[in-house]
Structure 1
Amino acid sequence: MQSFETLGQEAQALASGHSGKVIPILPLSAAEGEVARVMQICNACRYCEGFCAVFPAMTRRLEFGKADVNYLANLCHNCGACLHACQYAPPHEFGINIPKAMAEVRGQTYADYAWPPALGQLYQRNGLTLSLALVAALSLFLVLGAVLQGGGLGALWGADLGANFYNLFPHNLLVGLFAPVFLFVVLALSMGVRRFWKDIKPATSGADVSRPAAAEATGDVLRLKYLDGGHGDGCHNEDDAYTLQRRRCHHLTFYGFLLCFAATGVATLYHYLLGWAAPYDLPSLPKLLGGTGGVMLALGTAGLWRLNRRRHPLHGDAQQKPMDLGFIALLFLVATSGLALWWARATPALALLLCLHLGAVMALFATLPYGKFAHGVFRTAALLRHATEKRQPNPIGLGAD
């Protein structure tokens, strides 16, 4: 008669699409082992089965290997609903705290899948300090560049730039500075998510992505579906009450960032395809997109900072707060310095504000692959695998799909 462990391994093999072939068992870290422990208990209880994508995905498994744990951790949106509903949460002896356990594994994911790995470890430990130091260093570099190019200190305050910052830093120079950084970000994120996808695909049925699955996952990402707390009332805040503030601030931040990026893309097309040189003013499309996106980004990040500082102490991983706040601070600096640059472009402060804004943008892009932005990429991949997996036969016949 087969043991429970053997049956569990065979179920994992079937779920991966490799019938009769057991997936190699890799050792779990302490954080991954804790997720596996709480998932075993939750799989017996199933009170939270309808809360989010984590729980129906959980019910398709009898055991939780490394790939399963990393996959489930990146499905979790840290809304906190399961913690507040759980009868086994602290101070119960089982000590079930899914938001904290999942957050610790996600933090480990950023470092494990970072490329190059050393940069992921550095940013994880010193996110806020590193972010602000990068802004200061890069802004100072640009200030020195403006001084040394021949304008002296007069190039920084009161210089006659004709309300056009390209008179201080030519367009081709800025392209030469930012294009390599942007290409590095694309490469680093691609390398990381490629490895992540390769690891979790066998553990999530192994099936190829279909159009319906891609459409569902895209909708879940764009709507931030799983920040509704599983019931539509939102996440819990520090006083145990439901609130939609976190979801709204994430939407403002996400779509504000996309609008700012779209403004840069449209301006690039204007410059290279149509020959329309910057600066652009209202009612031009780059200015409309950038101005709207900047305001949304500033409001969203200000709200996220406030919510992060006041979050329930049992939610998430406290050690990741510097990394989270570093990313929020960079986004806020990019938004507010960009808006200030637009407002003050005809004043003596133009050059200094330009150096600050460009330093913040460069620091943001240099750190994108190693913090919360990477988390968004991994979560999108996990949601895509979930939408694909749920369309496959349940290997153990006990799931919620």
Structure 2
Amino acid sequence: MSAPLYLDYAATTPADPRVVEQMMRHLSMDGVYANPASRSHMPGWLAEQAVEGARRQVADLVNADPREIVWTSGATEADNLALIGYMRANRSRGRHLITSIIEHKAIIDTARALEAEGFDVTWLAPERDGTVSPARLRAAMRDDTVLVSLMAVNNELGSVNDITALAEVAHAFGAHFHTDAAQASGRLALDVEAMGIDMMSLSAHKAYGPKGIGALYVRRDPALRIEALIHGGGHERGMRSGTLATHQIVGMGEAFAIARDERERDGEHVGALRERFLAGLAGLTGVHQHVPQERSIPNIVNLAFDDVDGESLLMALRGLALSTGSACNSASVEPSYVLKGVGVPHLQALASIRFSFGRFTSLDEIDSAVDEIRRALTTLRASANQVSNSR
């Protein structure tokens, strides 16, 4: 069987061959394989040098100081460290956290865990386009609000928040601001200084790097304190202990260096893919795009299809690798909580599919995908009409 056409880049991206090449150099005896914490010999020094070089590459993508980059196992751990670590360390100042109902599960489940510990969480409802308005955030701010966490780009809708404006609101009330930027890295221009970001979660595997590695940007500010969640050696400025995975870190660094150099080129390519995709579906009736193009990144397109069930359509599209929403929620038969959160009707939410493109998607593949979607929709709708007419 031939492999299905991959249109699930929002779930994960294939590692860039240049990333894989760098990683391989840090695994075997003829490469840089030592523990970067071993400072008593040359192999350890070389490993440490590789780790710090990658730290600078990650920092350069977001205009940070390399000392502000804390390695984690991924964006999920970074989100946990940012929310739990911060709220526990600052409980004497306040116990109020603000987030939204359409955040990634790594934020939502972590915030719920904080609620179980006695912290107070306000859950903001987004606008219909999947963004959180600064006005709505301002209305929710309180004297005891210490942290606001709102994602840069929604992983199901592709909607883009005005992070600069949201951070300004948080700072005006004396709170710190965190954003999950897993879907934004390498796709949007991120500048932690210009945007006023205090903490930011980053992921390698969403940006053509390896799985199992991520980072948390933490502004070097004496007032920004984080309590460690993982203990055992005091690595990473005392925020995250454990032996560093040199090959994965190097892979993330290379992926982010490539993203910095090729972000505009990638954006133009993916923008052309989206235009071709939507133009190919333009003649079909009953197809709805959930977020306006001007409010979303081009690599994620979430569509609803009238008169079909989303799971049935997925089964019919066997030649395409797709999902109805977040990979972290893909086992659920319920409609996406994100779509429900922005007010999409129940049946329409059930008939929605996320298409996501990337660096290695071609225009010919988009044409093939459009053809398969057209055939599947025609067949499913014809079957549905036959059933309806026979009743």
TM over 0.5: no
Give me the TM-score of the superposition, normalised by structure 1. 0.25
- Structure possessing the higher radius of gyration over alpha carbons: 1
Q: As a proportion of its length, which structure holds more helix?
A: 1
Higher relative contact order (CA 8 A, sep 6+): 1
More strand by share: 2
